[in-house]
Amino acid sequence: MSMDRRRFLQLGLLAAAYPVGCSPSGADRSANPPGGTTATEPEPTPDAGPTTKSLLVLGGTRFLGPAVVDEALAAGLEVTLFNRGKSDPKAYPELEKLIGDRDPDKGAGLSALEGRKWDAVIDTSGYFPRHVKASAELLAPNVRQYLFISSVSAYAGHDKPGSDEDSPLAQLEDPTVETMGDQFQHYGGLKVLCEQAAERAMPGRVANVRPGYIVGPRDPTDRFTYWPWRVAQGGDVVVPGSADDPIQVIDVRDLGRWLVQMAINDTRGVFNAVGPKTPTTMGAVMEACQAATGSDARLHWASLEFLEAQGEPLPFPIWAPPAGESAGFHQYSNARATEAGLSHRPLSEVVADLWTWFSAQPEERRKTPRAGLPPAVEQQLIAALTKG
């Protein structure tokens, strides 16, 4: 029995919806053009200098945050962290840490930021427009630039290869919703409203950055990590689609480095932060996994037609069918980001470093990844693929 294709495609696309951390917004979509930026840029704040010297990171202790902080420190910036003090509170003991909440109505809220000045802020933890509005409005008089981490999930559709930053954006039926939804269906629309809230608070001084899958050391999701882990187990491995299917990922360290450089250079606008410069393939990913792990695992490629015939969505991470509604999901244009200085390390290095990090984690953490195909389901698929 063939399953509904829309339902099949949605599983993979929604899996991309929550990459880096986790209101009545009153957002007026007509205030900004489709890209989320204004047509003209006002002059920077009067005390803005030619380069960033001080940086505020909203978040900073989970996945993307540490990559930003590490790069900022390497660049000689003065870094301040603002978060709840709950995730890895012992990280970066040498840095100033301000404790509060992104929700201005909870506890001390944003009060620790009042009256303080920084050259730039990088927001790695904004998910609800009410929260982003509050932080951007509070900081607007005292920072030159606001870099907001959005997502390619902000786009209304993912069916056109080569889509750029001017593509139509997702819209929510209820712009005041403050939940992701049971299938993360609100995530993209909320990111759009967050982008617009930042831009309205600081017109012409915002960089909205839309990554796809962020991968690399410290990844808490295991979505990309599943593949080197599974290949390392050896034996028969089911891989979705074909070896030629396109894949776009960005190493968290490359993204962190670029964000810091954008802050230093005062770069503004909207950017798809996807990579590499030319999309790689699922086959190249599997080759890199085999090389990094030294595994001789046997790969069994399962075509889209075969997977659809199984009757239920299958939780293959990262991959999306290069057809129909997801034809462009791993083929976004990154020309604008590349021109703005985004660069990518080789895929082989991405996978090797990820595997080195994951292999050093405690045994309980390594035993079962947080994403991927359950072993029993994989065995059933192998049996179906090899029968006869």
H/E stretch holding 236 reads strand 236-240
pLDDT the model gives residue 52: 67
Could you give the CA distance from residue 292 to residue 289 in angstroms, rounded to a whole number?
Answer: 5
Contact call for residues 313 and 3 (beta carbons, < 8 A) = yes
pLDDT the model gives residue 388: 58
H/E stretch holding 138 reads helix 129-139
Pairing verdict, β 280-281 and 246-247: antiparallel
pLDDT the model gives residue 18: 52
Written as six digits, the tokens of 41 are 């840029």
Amino acid making up residue 162: G
How much helix, strand and coil, in percent to the nearest 5, is found in the chain? Answer: 35, 15, 50
Could you give the CA distance from residue 316 to residue 333 in angstroms, rounded to a whole number?
Answer: 24
Amino acid making up residue 51: T
Using only the alpha carbons of the chain, give its radius of gyration: 21
Phi, psi of 351 (to 5 degrees): -70, -45
Could you identify the residue written with the tokens 């015939």? Answer: 309
Contact call for residues 132 and 108 (beta carbons, < 8 A) = no
351's torsion region: left (phi>0), alpha (psi -120 to 50) or beta? alpha
Beta bridge partners of 379: none
Contact call for residues 129 and 196 (beta carbons, < 8 A) = yes
pLDDT the model gives residue 311: 84
**Peptide bond just before 276 cis, omega within 30 deg:** yes
Contact call for residues 279 and 322 (beta carbons, < 8 A) = no
Could you identify the residue written with the tokens 């030319």? Answer: 278
Written as six digits, the tokens of 292 are 């990094």
Domains of the chain, by residue range, sit at 5-386
HSE-CB of 80 using CA atoms within 13 angstroms = 15
Instruction: Calculate the CA 198 to chain-centre distance.
Output: 18
Alpha carbon distances (Å) from 10 to 57, 314, 384: 32, 11, 24
DSSP letter (8 states) at residue 57: E
CATH for the 5-386 domain, from 3.40.50.720, 3.40.630.30, 3.40.718.10, 3.30.110.40: 3.40.50.720
DSSP letter (8 states) at residue 124: S
Q: What is the pTM of this model?
A: 0.89
Contact call for residues 114 and 161 (beta carbons, < 8 A) = no
pLDDT the model gives residue 352: 98
Written as six digits, the tokens of 120 are 């730039």
Geometric angle at alpha carbon 373, from 371 and 375, rounded to 5°: 120
Contact call for residues 252 and 215 (beta carbons, < 8 A) = yes
Could you give the CA distance from residue 381 to residue 217 in angstroms, rounded to a whole number?
Answer: 30
Written as six digits, the tokens of 247 are 């894949």
Q: What is the mean pLDDT of each run of 10 residues along the chain (388 residues)?
A: 46 49 32 33 42 89 96 97 93 96 97 97 97 98 98 98 98 95 94 98 98 97 98 98 98 98 97 92 98 98 95 93 96 97 98 98 95 96 90
Count the neighbouring beta carbons within 10 Å of the beta carbon of residue 134.
21
pLDDT the model gives residue 279: 81
